[in-house]
Structure 1
Amino acid sequence: MNNETSLRYHQKRVAVTKTFTFDAAHKLERYEGKCKNLHGHTYQLHITISGFLNDIGMAVDFGEIKDIFQSVIKSRLDHQYLNDVLPSMNTTAENMIVWIWKQIEEEMIKRDLTEEGHRLETLTLYETPTSSATLHREWMIEE
């Protein structure tokens, strides 16, 4: 195993997913239902990033995904009142997931991950165990 690429089995793009949680409170504006009142959730966020394998056979380091989540999402949203800390928007899962996407993508650019061929592929944000919003890379491409 002297060849420097010997730990890489293939040259395919592979996506890896890591799951995180954070707790936050919010209320929905102009909504007629119980969520118009202040309430909280334990959000669950699934982050999927793809890349080509490096010389040790790894597409994306799970530790790097964790560091990105902690530095740009958890540090800003965990145990916060979302209506105060997010931009002017209704704090629906559908709005939040686009904001989260932009934060993660900006951080990946800062870390030169996109330059290395890594892509944010999918985010899924669970507001409850049975209710989620999903966003795919192709949906974020500007038309």
Structure 2
Amino acid sequence: MKIYSDFMISITKEFSFETAHRISNHPASCKHIHGHSYRLFVTVSADEIQENDMIIDFKELKQIINEKVIKTFDHALVLKRNDENTKLAQNIDSNIFWMEFEPTVERLLDYIRK
């Protein structure tokens, strides 16, 4: 039996990860490899509470985000696939995640949400 409410219920969990990147088309310092400490807030909403009295178990949410996001981006170098970055990456011994666009925070978030 599901418990129904008259409004949307949301829960949010915060995740963090460390990622390096470069914006190869940037005219200033962002064109250099540099890192960020990212904080990702994941919100899950529902209009009903499940029989276990939850929208989603935080343990399950953590497993999903760790598998889909943290394992991909934590301590990785994120680069747009282009000739300049491919040449640069030849000299880097690191976990590189290639993207088809510049890894701005907006593009990273758009990638994560899909």
| Same fold at TM > 0.5 | yes
Contact 1:13-1:50 at 8 Å conserved across structures = yes
State how many pairs are aligned: 97
Structure with the higher fraction of residues in strand conformation: 2
Matched, 1:97 2:93: no
State the partner residue of 1:109.
none
Letter in 2 for 1:68: I
Matched, 1:81 2:93: no
Please list every run of 5 or more consecutive structure 1 residues that lacks an aligned counterpart in the other structure.
Answer: 103-143
Alignment of 1:24-103 (within 5 A): 24-51=19-46, 52-83=48-79, 84-102=96-114
Secondary structure at the counterpart of residue 70 of structure 2: helix
Q: Distance in 2 between matches of 1:64 and 1:11?
A: 26
Q: Distance in 1 between matches of 2:70 and 2:4?
A: 34
State the partner residue of 1:118.
none
Q: Superposition RMSD on alpha carbons, in Å? A: 1.8
Deviation above 4 Å: which 4+ runs of structure 1?
A: none
Shift of 1:91: 0.6
Q: How does the TM-score come out when normalised to structure 2? A: 0.76
Q: Distance in 2 between matches of 1:48 and 1:86?
A: 27
Please list every run of 5 or more consecutive structure 2 residues that lacks an aligned counterpart in the other structure.
Answer: 80-95
Matched, 1:23 2:18: yes
Q: Deviations over 1:86-124 (max 9, x none)?
A: 42110101111110001xxxxxxxxxxxxxxxxxxxxxx
Shift of 1:62: 1.4
Letter in 2 for 1:76: T
Contact 2:78-2:99 at 8 Å conserved across structures = no
Contact 1:13-1:53 at 8 Å conserved across structures = no
State the partner residue of 1:125.
none
Contact 1:50-1:60 at 8 Å conserved across structures = no
Q: Distance in 2 between matches of 1:54 and 1:11?
A: 15
